[in-house]
Amino acid sequence: MPEKLQKVVLLAMPVKDKSVSYFKVEFYAFDEGLFPSKMSGGDDDLVLVSGTDAGPCPFVAKHTSLLDHCHRFAAFMANKSRMYYAGGVNSNCRTCHQDFPDRATRENNGQRSVFCMDTATGSEWTRLPLMTYGRWVPQLHVLDGALYAIGGMKEEQSAFMEVLPENEDEWITLPDPPCPVKRDYHNLTAVPVVVDEKPEDSYFLFVLLPKLDVFYTYTPKSNSWAVLDSSSIPGLVPHTFAFDSRFVYLYTDIKANAHKLVWHNIRLGQYHEVDLLMEGMIPPSAPFPEDVGVCEIALFHVGGNEFGLLWVDACDMGKGSDGYWCCRFTFDYKRALAGLKCCSLLWYSRCIGPKRPIRAVLAVDVPDHSTKGGHYHEGHYVSTPKQVLERRDGAEMSEREARSKQ
């Protein structure tokens, strides 16, 4: 019988390391059910307090998994029980030297490496086949079981998109879009649109930045691009989730001084805005980001009509920490269309945690090992590539020492 899974919200955070890679990546969970009851922890622990204010039930989160080398400008993505990590650059990473033997090429083009961890089968990060081209912060998406890497190229001859079909060991390059593409930046942003009735007809919707009124579609089934006529959709990027003809996304209304959630039916031209503060989705004390870097809000899709928000207050909270607010809620499309209250808060929490230079919020399925208040068994969820690398590096050192004595 398959093990029961539950959805968990994770943050990727780099941690200084003494290895040759200099940084490793740790993943911290924000769901209350993961944390053991503990009144205090070390300086590196993520202390989570249940409720709006500091109350009688503090929790300490342990990282659920770690990746023992960190790439700058890498991309993270989660789909069901799998987490993916691809691209970026780290010239000191021995694990990824095979991407490009030449150091200068590796730094200019980005890494070709792709890693995956499936929480349903274990905690080990495994290498997937190398991408055809090195990429900086590629957009990663899974559609109908295939993994897509989009954008982030540095060379003119690089393909804009490539795909790794399910159970295959080689990436396939795809046709370029019918519009100019900036090779080093993401001026064409992808939103996967899953057609529930016919998954094989699912496609990607692309919006051309900064215009926001020019749309393209790419359909894997026909391997073709098409232009889509549509009126401007404000704030479609970066946090957008599509369901057939419906889109849910987050944007900041500067004029109204508000963060808004938008439901948009692109076929019918209907949309409805929700003020997150009025709906109770963000705390009243949350500052509005008039200055860049003061705070930010990330929207993530948990599944079905359930979503979540992670609000980060970048003001100094002491000991190099940020303040966090995490909530999960349901969104009723029909009530939104009727202009009624459409958000129902399911769970929320405030906490203080490490600063977050890696901006990756992941909603991933993990085995439901424990009841509320328990925590994951660290021996299962902390991966061990570091020990593997140490053994390998130790063997290489012994071999070099032996040769030097000859």
| Token pair for 379 | 């021996």
Q: Which long-range contacts link 152-160 to residues 24+ away (Cβ below 8 Å)?
A: 152/75, 152/87, 152/110, 152/186, 153/183, 153/184, 154/108, 154/109, 154/110, 154/183, 154/184, 155/109, 155/183, 156/183, 158/109, 158/133, 158/183, 159/132, 159/133, 160/188
Distance in angstroms (rounded) separating the CA atoms of residues 137 and 151 = 8
Q: What is the pLDDT of residue 254?
A: 64
Q: What is the pLDDT of residue 291?
A: 44
Distance in angstroms (rounded) separating the CA atoms of residues 167 and 165 = 6
90, 216, 317, 331, 358 from 14: Cα distances, Å: 13, 35, 18, 33, 7
Rg (CA), the chain: 22
pTM of the model: 0.77
User: For the residues of 88-145, what is the DSSP string, one character each?
Assistant: -B-TT-GGGTTS-SSHHHHHHH----EEEEETTT-S--EEEPPPSS--SS-EEEEETT
Percent pLDDT > 70 in the chain is 56
Distance in angstroms (rounded) separating the CA atoms of residues 84 and 80 = 11
pLDDT confidence bin for 142, thresholds 50/70/90 = very high
Percent pLDDT > 90 in the chain is 11
DSSP 276: T
pLDDT confidence bin for 314, thresholds 50/70/90 = low
- Residue 334 pLDDT greater than 70, yes or no: yes
Q: What is the pLDDT of residue 317?
A: 55
Is the CB of residue 260 less than 8 Å from the CB of residue 274? yes
Express each pLDDT in 343-394 by its tens digit.
Answer: 888 877 766 666 666 667 888 887 765 333 333 333 333 333 333 334 434 5
Q: What is the mean pLDDT of residues 233-242?
A: 58
Burial (CB count within 10 angstroms: exposed 0-12, middle 13-18, buried 19+), residue 45? middle
103, 243, 272, 335 from 340: Cα distances, Å: 57, 21, 10, 5
Distance in angstroms (rounded) separating the CA atoms of residues 205 and 227 = 10
- Residue 257 pLDDT greater than 60, yes or no: yes
What single letter denotes the amino acid at residue 40?
S
Q: What is the pLDDT of residue 286?
A: 60
Q: Nearest-CA neighbor of 10 among 72, 78, 67?
A: 78
Q: What is the pLDDT of residue 320?
A: 62
- Of the two residues 11 and 354, the one the predictor is more confident about is 11
- Residue 182 pLDDT greater than 80, yes or no: no
Q: Nearest-CA neighbor of 217 among 235, 191, 182?
A: 191
- Residue 59 pLDDT greater than 50, yes or no: no
Distance in angstroms (rounded) separating the CA atoms of residues 143 and 129 = 18
Distance in angstroms (rounded) separating the CA atoms of residues 394 and 307 = 46
Q: What is the mean pLDDT of residues 285-312?
A: 70
Is the CB of residue 115 less than 8 Å from the CB of residue 80? no
User: For the residues of 206-264, what is the DSSP string, one character each?
Assistant: EEETTTSS-EEEEETTTTEEEEE-----TT-SSSEEEETTEEEEEEEETTTTEEEEEEE
Burial 287-297 (b: 16+ CB within 10 A, else e): eebeeeeebbb
pLDDT confidence bin for 230, thresholds 50/70/90 = low
Q: What is the pLDDT of residue 168?
A: 93
| Token pair for 283 | 């705390």
Distance in angstroms (rounded) separating the CA atoms of residues 334 and 207 = 26
| Token pair for 154 | 């540095």
Distance in angstroms (rounded) separating the CA atoms of residues 171 and 147 = 9
231, 235, 260, 316 from 292: Cα distances, Å: 29, 17, 18, 15
Q: What is the pLDDT of residue 68?
A: 74
Distance in angstroms (rounded) separating the CA atoms of residues 259 and 237 = 14
- Of the two residues 267 and 136, the one the predictor is more confident about is 136
Q: What is the mean pLDDT of residues 19-27?
A: 67
Express each pLDDT in 74-100 by its tens digit.
Answer: 889 999 889 999 998 877 777 776 666
15, 63, 87, 109, 285 from 353: Cα distances, Å: 13, 12, 26, 33, 18
